[in-house]
Every structure is written in C-alpha cells, then in structure tokens.
Homo-oligomer: A and B are copies of this chain.
C-alpha cells in the first residue's frame, strides 16, 4: 500500500482479443485485480466507484481493429477492461473540479473501481431526482443523439411522416416520442412482437412492425407509409436503408445514426443499391456523431428533465444486475434481445 491508499480487489471485464464476425460472451473475460482507492499524490486524476454501465451498439465497432481513418474510433485494447459510458461516484479526487461524493457520467471502465486520469471529460450530475441510470441513456449520449439528430439534422415539420428503425432502443424510443411532440406521424420497426407492442402501447408510436416478419421490406414500408417517408432516422443501415430509399418523399431527410446491421462485417459491409433515389428525390442524407453536439448538452438536459417531470416522455430500460453479467448484457444488446436501453447495474450507490 502506498501513501495510506486503501488497496481493494477490483473485478474487471477484459476484452480477450479482437473479434471477427459475431462477438460472444467468451470474447470477454472476468478478472479480479486490485486498485488503490486514493489518487497518486500530485495527480489530477480521480478514483471512482462505478454504479451503472452502458451497453452501446458502437462498442461492437471497437472490438475489431479496422483500418478506417477517422477520429471516430478508439479501439479497445485486448487484455484491458472494456471502456464505455457509465455513471460513477467519486471516491477520491486530485482534481479541483471534483470532490469525494460527486456523481459523474462519462467514459469509464468496465470494472468496480476506475482511476480516471482525465476527469475533465466527465459530466457532473447535479440533478439526482431521476433514476441515476438515466445518465447512461436518456440523459447521456443516446438522449443527446436523439435530440440533436432529430431536431438539427432531420429538421422535422408538423405533419411529416417519420420512420425509425431499432425503434425501441435507447435512441429510437426517444426519436419516436420527439416526433409525436413535434406533431409528426411516426412508425417504428423492431425485432420482436414484445417490442412492437411497447412501441404502440407505451412509447406512443402511431404504428410499428416487426421487420423479422416482413419478407419484403419495400412492401411493408409501402403499407405503413402509403404517402411515403419524409424523415428516416436510421439506426441500422443495410437492407432496411435500401428499402427506405425507395419509399422516401421528395426532399426527404435521412439521418444516419448507426448501422448496427453492418457492425459484424464492417470490413465488407453490405451494398446499398438505391442511392439513385437520393438524386431523383433530392434527399439529404447526413451522418452524425454525438460528440459534435456536446456544447448543447446543458440545453438538452434542461429540456429532458422538464419532459420527464411533466410525463411527456417515458424511458424504457433493460437492467442487468452485476458486473459479472456485463458480457451477457452486451451480447443481448448486439443480438437485439434487450428491450429498451441496456444497462448493467454494478452497484446501487
């Protein structure tokens, strides 16, 4: 033990090795190490106890090292803990902006305790009258994604036709609700009857369908959108995007948020064949990375908290208890078995 720091055992979830194809639970491994609960003297780092961890589709991308140049990727390191968003409590701080007992959300490790060397990247949680786990979803990156991408990229107008894929997921469920608040007609697609029921009966979508039961996505979209689609909020890519292109209206907008259908074969992704519709229908298609919108987070947070208080939005979470079950939670998400935002509960404060 150094300088009075308490050394404790620290369970961690490590990436075993870079993954090819579909990841499995066994690509991750539980290891028990140790950690000092005090920050090194003179350091500006903090030590946190992780409470909630977020499972996000883009974590799949970081499990495979790809040669794609962009500042989007920060691959996992085999033999090191998985890295992701989480909610944590500060146990010790060498940084002037943080003190013991503070609650934070941001990038942390998949472990019980983390030493965070650049705590400036974390957001301090000041509103605690909502479930803290919401800071892995609705009040964190997925919420800001839904908000900024829907309002800033999709530029919705009242009465427009909106389609959302992966609609019961962390981002999709919010886009649907924002669409209704905007006075749009919104249909969602999801991968099970249970999710479709939730979209229609709990999340306020005007309609919803199970894409796995549709052999002809083009025909399905024609059925749900006889007038065509003004806005497509794309969380999946692939054949759904191709079918949507055929059903877009003139001057429609497509927000490309994620392409989860392609994440297991990003080195050889499926082709999109109907881009010609982008020309003929003057479609605007725009990619999105939430980090660009961090400056508007405070404005978003205020609105989201108000919406929660007024009961204007609801938020579905799929919680799994225990760090040891985190690999299973991530695989659940990547195979679409989760219902709502997938969260791992590491500790209840």
Chain A interface residues toward B at CB < 8 A = 68-73, 228, 237, 241, 246, 250, 256-259, 262, 266, 268-289, 292
Specify which of A268, A283, A287, A289 lies most central, judged by the most chain B CB atoms within 10 Å of its CB: A287
Are B289 and A286 in contact, with the CB atoms below 8 A? no
**Given A271-B273, A273-B270, A273-B271, A285-B278 contact (CB < 8 Å):** yes
The main secondary structure of chain A at its interface with chain B is loop
Complex CA distance for A262 and B276, rounded to whole angstroms: 9
Are A282 and B286 in contact, with the CB atoms below 8 A? yes
Chain B residues positioned under 8 Å from A280 (CB to CB): 68, 70, 72-73, 287, 289
* Given A68-B246, A285-B286: 17 more A-B contacts, CB < 8 Å: A68-B277, A68-B280, A69-B246, A70-B277, A259-B276, A266-B276, A269-B275, A270-B273, A271-B272, A272-B272, A278-B286, A279-B289, A280-B287, A281-B287, A282-B286, A282-B287, A284-B286
Chain B residue with minimal CB distance to A258?
B279
Chain B residues positioned under 8 Å from A286 (CB to CB): 278, 282-285
For the complex of A and B, the 9 pairs showing the least CB-CB separation, nearest first, are A271-B271, A72-B280, A278-B287, A279-B287, A70-B280, A285-B285, A282-B287, A284-B286, A272-B272
Could you show 21 A-B contacts with beta carbons less than 8 Å apart?
A68-B246, A68-B276, A68-B277, A70-B281, A72-B281, A237-B275, A259-B275, A266-B276, A268-B273, A270-B271, A271-B272, A277-B287, A279-B287, A279-B288, A279-B289, A280-B289, A282-B286, A283-B287, A284-B286, A284-B287, A285-B286
Chain B residues positioned under 8 Å from A272 (CB to CB): 271-273, 275
Complex CA distance for A71 and B284, rounded to whole angstroms: 17
Are A250 and B281 in contact, with the CB atoms below 8 A? no
Are A279 and B256 in contact, with the CB atoms below 8 A? yes
Chain B residues positioned under 8 Å from A276 (CB to CB): 68, 237, 259, 262, 266, 269
